[in-house]
A and B are shown apart, each in its own frame.
Chain A
Amino acid sequence: MIKVCFFAKLREQFECDELSLEANNITQVKDVITQLVTLHPSWQSELKQSKCLVAVNHAMAKADTAVNSGDEVAFFPPVTGG
């Protein structure tokens, strides 16, 4: 399984803070996005925005970053702390 989390504006828009995906057919971040959009077509525009950031196991990642079963993949908007 792959744990997927959402933060801030994305969490509110999707009304979802986390969910699990079967790891079958997932090797990279872009596969996670494809599965999420298949399950929730309305998430497409947010997840495919260039501004949408992604982290795999707490490290910033890109569309081609590897994802394995047991990993945690997080999607969030640009950060605004400080």
Chain B
Amino acid sequence: MIKVQQQDFDIQHEYQALAKDSQAGAIVTFVGLVRDMNLGKQVQGLELEHYPGMTEQSLRTIVQQAKTRWQLLQCRVIHRVGKLALNEQIVYVGVSSAHRGDAFAACEFIMDYLKTQAPFWKKEHTDEGANWLDARESDDQAAERWQQE
């Protein structure tokens, strides 16, 4: 299940959708939030732009790659777009598997790939004005380590 949407999501609802599978022995979830500080600036909120069509295709490819690498039951990915205030939820990744090792690894893999491959862009509103965020080398390094293993 992949969704790109403006509205918020309910973690409990997403968790239950993963947990109802009786084969699931492990569920790992990740939620990304809008935080108040970035690179020393006070953040007031974010604006998220994406490339409709390519975004969904790119997320489907990432989930497919995860399912090829690990034994997974379900993957649920939700990414919000539009204006987001401090503390709001941005992204959700939930993975279920028979065992925790696969679920932990796949959840992290999906997030690392999402951050470097899915066409989303963040514009940050701070007390010093609005600016588009630059990609971080640390995110590229996080994604690259999956290629070395």
A residues apposed to B, CB below 8 Å: 5, 7-9, 12, 55, 58-60, 74, 76-82
Contact = CB atoms under 8 A, between A and B. Distances in A.
A8 B116 CA distance: 15
Closest 7 CB pairs of A and B: A81-B120, A78-B135, A8-B121, A58-B54, A82-B115, A9-B132, A80-B133
A82 B33 CA distance: 9
Interface in B106-135: 111, 114-123, 132-135
B109 to A, nearest CB: 13
Nearest to B121: A8
Interface in B4-62: 32, 48-51, 53-54, 57-58
Find the residue from A7, A8, A60, A81 having the highest chain B CB count within 10 A.
Answer: A81
- Interface size on B, as a range, is 20 to 34
Contacts of B90: 82
A15 to B, nearest CB: 15
Nearest to B122: A80
Given A5-B51, A7-B119, A58-B57, 19 more contacts: A8-B49, A58-B51, A58-B53, A58-B58, A59-B57, A76-B51, A79-B115, A79-B116, A79-B117, A79-B119, A80-B121, A80-B133, A80-B135, A81-B91, A81-B114, A81-B118, A82-B90, A82-B118, A82-B139
Nearest to B119: A79
Nearest to A82: B115
A77 B121 contact: yes
Contact of B120 (A9, A55, A59, A80): A80
A66 to B, nearest CB: 18
B128 to A, nearest CB: 17
11 contacts: A8-B123, A58-B54, A74-B51, A76-B121, A77-B121, A79-B115, A79-B120, A79-B135, A80-B133, A81-B48, A82-B90
Contacts of A7: 49, 51, 119, 121
Nearest to B114: A82
Nearest to B123: A8
